[in-house]
A and B are shown apart, each in its own frame.
Chain A
Amino acid sequence: MSVPLHPDSRYIKALLDNDNRGISDIYARFSARIERFVCTNSGSADDARDVFQEALLAIAQQARRPGFVLTCPFEAYLYLVCRGKWFNELKRRKRSTVTISDTERFNDTEQADALADTVLVEEARNKLFRLFFDRLSEGCRALLKLSWTGLSMQEVSDNLGVTYGYARKRKSECIAQLTEWIQASPEFSSLK
């Protein structure tokens, strides 16, 4: 049985379609509350703008995954994502214990909590993998990107002007380096 679409799925659709009018509606309805939350918790209006923007980007990223369905009110979901992001930012800035004062109350937030947690963990995990990929040499990055975006190893070796055997060997070395870095990172185990 399929899960019924929540009426607020229109906001998700607006983000996925990059629909100006729909996105303006999201800002008009919800930005003031997020600004109040951030400003109540040691932040500024500029911080609130950044948190709001990053939360919408993270939600859109999550919503692009196959099978994503919004099962809760969008406002609670957005608030909890912003809350998690601002909590992380405060921790980053102060590097000590951080307490948050909530400025909004929602009923039955179990589903919104679960969705928001998934968004935050998935985004952080994506960033972790990307961070280590970007640390590879330019040659490794080019080789892996060409290979993983659909080219055969013969096409990859032709494109890079190297022998087929060299390209295969080098690709394995690059993957070995990348996965070693990723697994050695503490976040690899903690972000799950």
Chain B
Amino acid sequence: MATELYTKIEDYLDDALDDQERQAFEAEVRTDPALAQQLAVVRETRQRLITQWANEPAETALLETLQKIGSEHFKSGAGSGQAGAGGRLFRLAPGWWAAAAAVVATLIAAWFFLRPPSNERLYAQYGAFPEADFTVRGDSPATNDLSAAEAAFNRKDYAEALSLLQAYLTGHPDDAQARLHAGLCHLELKQYPDATAIFSEIGGSNNVWADEANWFLALTYLRQDKRTDCARILKLIPQSSGRYEQAAELLSQI
């Protein structure tokens, strides 16, 4: 279905059509089942997401209460399988020493493989960059730099992308999306102070890119083995953010 149709559906749901347009649209919906279906899906999508966003603060508060009270009422399985009477010594028969040694060796091997992951391993696991999606924003000479930067970024030529983004940003210093991607280039090029400065500035603002900037600021710290700072920043990412689950997961691993 053509994207223009979704613009019409949105205008209808936003009550932005005049009377004549609205009546014509409603007549079309009555005679076109496919359009009626799309209208119903967009309406349901909007309603469900808007309700979820509105309820998030109350749900987060309730979840905290339930976690606190729940731990007092359910018996945790942690105590199961404990030894009975304590303090009794026992001897191993000679043949068992080899088995015991094998167990110890297995435990050491398990520790080796299950030990906390290194910073770079975690960074490789979580540091996937989103694809640059600047697209064209009107016609200007800077558009060429931006388009070229997008292409360079998506083919992982971060030095080239950074150079083009910096040229673009001289004329558009307030473009947070472009600055965020410049920060990503710095991060990938291991220019940590520059990356930190950019992500901190965007992350501390009310900009829509703030959560994304905080996520990559945390990864910048992670890569430098600054785990305390990394954890501090991860905790700033709210539950409403698309990065929340990853942030919580990473937090549990550092």
Contact = CB atoms under 8 A, between A and B. Distances in A.
Contacts of B44: 129
Interface stretch (B73-81, B156-164, B188-196): B73-81
Contacts, number: 140
B171 interface: no
Contacts of B172: 161
Interface stretch (A1-9, A70-78, A94-102, A130-138): A130-138
Interface stretch (B63-71, B93-101, B117-125): B63-71
A23 B1 CA distance: 48
B173 to A, nearest CB: 11
A173 B3 contact: yes
Contact of B136 (A134, A166, A171): A166
A8 B51 CA distance: 25
Nearest to B75: A45
Interface in A26-84: 27-28, 31, 35, 44-46, 48-49, 52-53, 56-57, 60-61, 64-65
B contact patch SS? helix
A90 interface: no
B61 A31 contact: no
A179 B38 contact: yes
Nearest to B243: A138
Nearest to A26: B69
A62 to B, nearest CB: 11
A124 to B, nearest CB: 12
B91 interface: no
Contacts of A179: 6, 38, 41-42, 45
A159 B53 CA distance: 19
Interface residues of A, number: 58
Contacts of B208: 142, 145-146, 159-160
Given A138-B212, A175-B6, A175-B42, A166 B135 contact: yes
Interface in B102-153: 130-131, 133, 135-138
Interface stretch (B24-32, B82-90, B174-182, B223-231): B174-182
Given A18-B62, A161-B176, A175-B6, A31 B73 contact: yes
A170 interface: yes
A125 B48 contact: yes
B4 interface: yes
Interface string A10-22: 0000011010100
A24 interface: yes
Contacts of A145: 49, 53, 208
A144 B74 CA distance: 41
A182 B45 contact: yes
A57 B66 contact: yes
Interface string A160-189: 111100101111110110110011000000
A142 B209 CA distance: 8
B49 A166 contact: no
Given A60-B59, A144-B49, A166-B138, 8 more contacts: A18-B61, A45-B76, A45-B77, A49-B76, A130-B52, A147-B10, A148-B46, A161-B176
Interface of A: 15-16, 18, 20, 23-24, 27-28, 31, 35, 44-46, 48-49, 52-53, 56-57, 60-61, 64-65, 125-126, 129-130, 133-134, 137-139, 141-142, 144-149, 159-163, 166, 168-173, 175-176, 178-179, 182-183
